[in-house]
């Protein structure tokens, strides 16, 4: 009963909040940048990306984006969140080339960012979970994310990113999350983005 009522209220909203969540370096910010480029017809990036984990350590928001497919549309605010991690070790940043001071500061900011990300779930209407399809989906981070979403009864779209890579295993992602809609994309090379937007529309309209 509650689930049906929630979906009815969700559909009546003129604008929804869509959060991009996932583990570090899965391509969350790359996807956020791609969405903004597609929908705003702009080459300007939403925010910076890096090969070092936890480049995104603060919530970033872009308001008033719109997806139209045939006669249907959704208007939404896009929320890019820091990578979710169960443990953040500053020594990993030092191995990536940061100084001791820089690494400790990055670890502190990243930890704060994870806490902030979880809090933002309370104001998020739909979550896009971005996973690296070259990695094993069965890990503690992914289970933590899914657990928080199920506890809040938030609609979910699972994105299997990096399907352009030979080691990508889309089927593993689909088998790991059979309860959810899964779509494979390459955010970096804009591969299968039409399917992504169609999937986003379906989950939003449920």
pLDDT digit string (tens) for the chain, length 206 residues: 434 544 554 555 678 999 999 988 899 989 999 999 999 876 655 554 444 444 555 788 889 999 988 888 899 999 988 877 766 666 666 666 677 787 777 777 777 777 788 888 888 999 999 999 999 998 877 888 888 888 888 999 999 999 999 999 999 999 999 999 999 999 999 999 999 999 999 998 76
How would you class 88 by CB atoms within 10 Å of its CB: exposed for 0-12, middle for 13-18, buried for 19 or more?
Answer: buried
The whole-model pTM stands at 0.80
Q: What proportions of the chain, in percent to the nearest 5, are helix, strand and coil?
A: 40, 20, 35
Residue listed under structure tokens 């956020």: 32
Q: What angle do CA 80, 59, 103 make, to 5 degrees?
A: 105
**Model pLDDT, residue 114:** 78
Tell me, what's the pLDDT at 82?
Answer: 81
CATH topology of domain 15-204: Rossmann fold (3.40.50)
- CA nearest neighbour of 117 among 56, 53, 49: 56
Provide the sign of the torsion angle of the four alpha carbons 102, 46, 134, 84, taken in this order: positive
pLDDT at position 86: 66
Beta-bridge partner residues of 39: none
* pLDDT given for residue 144 in this prediction: 80
């Amino acid at each position: 009963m509650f689930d049906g009522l929630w979906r009815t209220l969700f559909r009546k909203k003129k604008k929804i909040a869509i959060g991009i969540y996932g583990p570090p370096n899965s391509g969350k910010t790359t996807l956020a940048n791609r969405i903004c480029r597609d929908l705003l017809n702009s080459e300007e990036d939403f925010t910076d990306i890096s090969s070092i984990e936890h480049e995104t350590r603060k919530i970033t928001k872009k308001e008033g984006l719109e997806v139209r497919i045939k006669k249907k549309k959704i208007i939404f605010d896009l929320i890019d969140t820091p990578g979710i991690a169960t443990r953040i070790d500053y020594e990993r940043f030092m191995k990536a080339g940061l100084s001791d001071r820089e690494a400790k500061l990055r670890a502190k900011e990243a930890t704060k960012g994870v806490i902030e990300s979880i809090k933002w779930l309370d104001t998020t209407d739909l979550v896009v979970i971005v996973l690296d399809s070259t990695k094993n989906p069965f890990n503690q981070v992914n289970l933590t994310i899914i657990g928080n979403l199920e506890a809040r009864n938030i609609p979910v779209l699972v994105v299997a990113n990096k399907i352009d890579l030979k080691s990508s295993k889309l089927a593993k992602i689909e088998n790991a999350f059979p309860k959810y809609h899964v779509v494979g994309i390459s955010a970096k090379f804009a591969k299968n983005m039409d399917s992504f937007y169609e999937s986003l529309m379906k989950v939003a309209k449920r």
